[in-house]
Amino acid sequence: MRRFIYVVALFAGCASQPEQPREPGPAPAPEAQQLPAPPPERVPPPRAETTAVAGLMDSARTDTAAGRLTNAAATLERALRIEPRNARLWHELALVRFRQGDYAQAESLAARSNTLAGSDAELRSANQRLIDDARSARR
Amino acid sequence: MARRTKLRKFLRFALLATLLAAAGFTLFLDIRVRDEFEGRRFALPARIYARPLELHVGLRMPQADVLDELKLLGYRDIPRPGEPGWYLREENRLEIALRPFVFWDGAQPARSVSVAFEGGKVSMLRDAAGTDVPLARVEPLAIGGIYPAGNEDRVLVRLTEVPQHLVQALVAVEDRSFYRHAGFDVRGLARAVRSLFTDRVQGGSTITQQLVKNFFLTPERTIRRKATELVMAVLLEIHYDKNEILETYLNEIYFGQDRDRAIHGVGLAAQFYFGKDVQYLSVAESALLVAMIRGPAHYDPYKHPARTLERRNLVLRETREQGQISLEQYAAARSSPLGVTRKSGMGTSPYPAFLKLVHRQLRRDYDEKDLRSEGLRIFTTLDPRAQGAAENALTKRLAQFDKEKRFGQPGLEGAVVITDPQSGEVQAMVGGRDVRYSGYNRALDAGRPVGSLLKPAIYLTALSEPSRYTLLTPIDDGPFLWKSRGAPDWEPLNYDKKFHGMVPLRLALAHSYNAAAARLGTDLGVEKVLANVRKLGVERDVRPFASSMLGAVDMSPFEVAQMYQTIASGGFRAPLRSIREVTTQDGKPLQRYPLAIEQAFPPEPIYLLAAAMQDVVREGTGQGLKSYLPPEVAVAGKTGTTDEQRDAWFAGFSGDRLAVVWVGYDDNRAARLSGSAAALPIWGDLMSALSPEPLALARPPSIEMVSIDPQSGLRGGVSCPGAVELPFMQGSAPQERAPCSGPMDAAVEAAGEVGQAVSKGVERAKSWLERLFGR
Q: What is the 3-state secondary structure (H, E, C) of B54-118?
A: EECCCCCCCHHHHHHHHHHCCCECCCCCCCCCEEEEECCEEEEEECCEEECCEEECCEEEEEEEE
Cα distance from A129 to chain B (closest Cα, Å)?
15
Cα distance from B693 to chain A (closest Cα, Å)?
12
For residue A26, what pLDDT band results from cuts at 50, 70 and 90? very low
Parallel, antiparallel, or unpaired for β B572-573 and B554-555?
Answer: unpaired
Residues 6+ apart with CB under 8 A from B641: B451, B452, B495, B647, B648, B649, B673, B674, B675, B676
Q: Who among B420, B597, B656 is closest to A112 (CB)? A: B597
* 3-class DSSP state of B427: strand
The verdict on a CB contact (< 8 Å) between A23 and B133 is: no
The verdict on a CB contact (< 8 Å) between A19 and B775 is: no
Q: Who among B105, B423, B766 is closest to A22 (CB)? A: B105
Residue of B nearest to A102 (CA): B596
Parallel, antiparallel, or unpaired for β B377-380 and B254-258?
Answer: unpaired
What does the pLDDT look like over A38-97, one tens digit per residue? 444 445 555 667 889 999 999 999 999 999 999 999 999 999 999 999 999 999 999 999
Type of residue numbered B25: F
Best B132, B595, B770 member to test A by mutation, with max A CBs in 10 Å, is B595
* 3-class DSSP state of B749: helix
| Residue with the larger pLDDT of the pair B76 and A34 | B76
Residues 6+ apart with CB under 8 A from B194: none
Q: Who among A25, A112, A118 is closest to B589 (CB)? A: A25
DSSP state of B624: G
Q: What is the pLDDT of residue B4?
A: 77
Query: What's the mean pLDDT when you consider all of chain B?
Result: 89
B453 burial level (CB within 10 Å; 0-12, 13-18, 19+): buried
Q: What is the pLDDT of residue B204?
A: 66
Q: Who among A3, A16, A115 is closest to B134 (CB)? A: A16
For residue A7, what pLDDT band results from cuts at 50, 70 and 90? very low
pTM to 2 decimal places: 0.84
Q: What is the pLDDT of residue B775?
A: 41
* 3-class DSSP state of A136: helix
**Angle between the N-to-C axes of helices B164-174 and B305-321, in degrees from 0 to 180, rounded to the nearest 10:** 90
Q: Which of A19, A17, A21 is nearest to A51 (CA)?
A: A17
Beta-sheet strand order (sheet of B636-641)? B426-430, B413-419, B658-664, B647-653, B636-641
- In this prediction the ipTM stands at 0.82
Cα distance from A88 to chain B (closest Cα, Å)?
14
pLDDT over 50 (residue A12): no
Spans in chain B with pLDDT lower than 50: 199-202, 774-775
Best B55, B135, B583 member to test A by mutation, with max A CBs in 10 Å, is B135
First CA to last CA distance, chain A: 39
The verdict on a CB contact (< 8 Å) between A73 and B763 is: no
* A window 23-42, beta carbon within 8 A of B: 23, 25-26, 41
Active site residue B174: yes
The verdict on a CB contact (< 8 Å) between B134 and A73 is: no
Active-site entry in B69, B139, B152, B174: B174
Cα distance from B100 to chain A (closest Cα, Å)?
12
The per-residue DSSP string of B2-18 comes to HHHHHHHHHHHHHHHHH
B261 burial level (CB within 10 Å; 0-12, 13-18, 19+): buried
pLDDT over 50 (residue A114): yes
**φ and ψ at B344, to 5 degrees?**
-85, -20
CB atoms within 10 A of CB B190: 11
CB atoms within 10 A of CB B482: 18
Write down the H helix ranges in B511-631: 514-524, 526-535, 546-549, 557-568, 603-619
Residues 6+ apart with CB under 8 A from B358: B48, B378, B380, B578, B579
Type of residue numbered B320: R
A chain contacts of residue B422, beta-carbon cutoff 8 Å: 80, 84-85
Q: Cα–Cα–Cα angle for B472, B477, B483, nearest 5°?
A: 125
**φ and ψ at B326, to 5 degrees?**
-75, 165
Q: Chain B residues contacting A, CB < 8 Å? A: 54, 56-58, 104-109, 132-135, 137, 420, 422-423, 425, 569-572, 581, 587, 589, 592, 594-599, 603, 656, 696, 698, 700-701, 759, 763, 766-767, 770, 775
Q: What is the 3-state secondary structure (H, E, C) of B401-426?
A: HHHHCCCCCCCCEEEEEEECCCCCEE
Parallel, antiparallel, or unpaired for β B714-715 and B572-573?
Answer: unpaired
Q: Which of B762, B775, B773, B764 is nearest to A5 (CA)?
A: B775
The verdict on a CB contact (< 8 Å) between B698 and A56 is: no
Active-site entry in B282, B349, B373, B452: B452
Q: What is the pLDDT of residue B343?
A: 63
Active site residue B527: no
Q: Cα–Cα–Cα angle for B274, B279, B284, nearest 5°?
A: 55
Quick one: CA torsion of B264, B268, B270, B275, rounded to 10 degrees? -140
Q: What is the pLDDT of residue A17?
A: 36
pLDDT over 90 (residue A34): no
B446: left (phi over 0), alpha (psi -120 to 50) or beta: beta
A chain contacts of residue B603, beta-carbon cutoff 8 Å: 115
Residue of A nearest to B656 (CA): A84
* A window 53-92, beta carbon within 8 A of B: 54-56, 70-71, 73-75, 77-78, 80-82, 84-85
Cα distance from A2 to chain B (closest Cα, Å)?
6
B chain contacts of residue A77, beta-carbon cutoff 8 Å: 423, 594-595
Q: What is the pLDDT of residue B774?
A: 44
Q: What is the pLDDT of residue A9?
A: 38
